[in-house]
Amino acid sequence: MIKKYHDISIVVRTSMAINPYVKRPFNLKKEELLLKCLKSLLESCNLVKNRVKLYVVDDSGPENIRNKIRELLSLYKINSELIKIEVKSNKKSLEFSYNLLKKAKSDLLFLADDDYLYTKQAFSFILNAYDDRIIGTDQFAIYPFDEPTRYEKIYPSYIFLSKDSHWRSIGHSTGSIIIPKKLFIKNEKVFNRFVETLSEKGSINELWKEIPLISPIPSLVAHLNSDTIPPFVKWEKYL
């Protein structure tokens, strides 16, 4: 069998809105959080830049922030695009981003927010896992966080070994998953339900009853909430 090398389209939603109910680690202000997380994403994508298409979708934030985003994008030779949308709604932003991914021509799709911090090897490891079909097929999804809350309720998992990392099968995720476009299109109604409800229960988490979902050990990405920092990685060094 001829080895297939996968490519990926990534949509990052950026916003200067501040959620008063979310406690951020490392005393990060919103602007600093956004730019540092975006830089970590670019650093990771830069290792596989010929296989990445990046969209940054900004929901009408201040122009000076968009200028800083443009400046940051210009430092990397990655196929990237900054899109300003005239909405300040999580639902509308999510709907726009899914429509963008639906038109993408890449094998893999990934929707992310602006508070995800990436290890430098994240996208190399993810693409290698698909290229090498580590579970025997490339029709599976990846949730790139090894969340500490996952260990509060123990359940059996299959363990997979790639040339870079260990992976475990899981049964739940947020909407921030890497998924083959074929599976995204096939399950479009499920993603539309997620847009309507903004809840993974009854939508995205129903997919994992039929579609294999795996997560890396240790984590390749951190969602920068104080209660969701993945273990065994010194995330401060990526800041």
| Domains in the chain, CATH or no CATH each | 8-238 (3.90.550.10)
HSE, CB side, 13 Å, CA atoms: give it for residue 51.
19
H-helix segments, 46-111: 63-74, 90-103
Q: Is the pLDDT of residue 87 over 90?
A: no
User: Would you say residue 22 has pLDDT above 80?
Assistant: no
Task: Note every long-range contact of 3-6, with CB atoms under 8 Å and residues 24 or more positions apart, other chains counting.
Answer: 3/131, 3/132, 4/107, 4/131, 4/138, 5/51, 5/127, 5/131, 6/51, 6/106, 6/107, 6/108, 6/127, 6/130, 6/131, 6/138
Can you read off the two tokens belonging to residue 166? Answer: 């260990």
Looking at the chain, the whole-number percentage of residues with pLDDT higher than 70 is 98
Give residue 225's pLDDT. 84
CA distance 188 to 175: 13
Q: Model confidence over 44-85: pLDDT tens digits?
A: 999 999 999 999 999 877 899 999 999 999 999 999 999 999
Mean pLDDT value of segment 128-151: 94
Burial code of 175-209, b = ≥16 C-beta within 10 A, e = fewer?
A: bbbbbbbebbeebeeebeebbeeeebeebbbebbe
- The single-letter code of the amino acid at 232 is F
Report pLDDT digits (tens) over 197-218: 999 999 999 999 999 999 999 9
| pLDDT at residue 21 tops 60 | no
Measured CA to CA, the distance from residue 55 to residue 129 in angstroms comes to 23
Residue 141 buriedness (CB in 10 A; 0-12 / 13-18 / 19+): buried
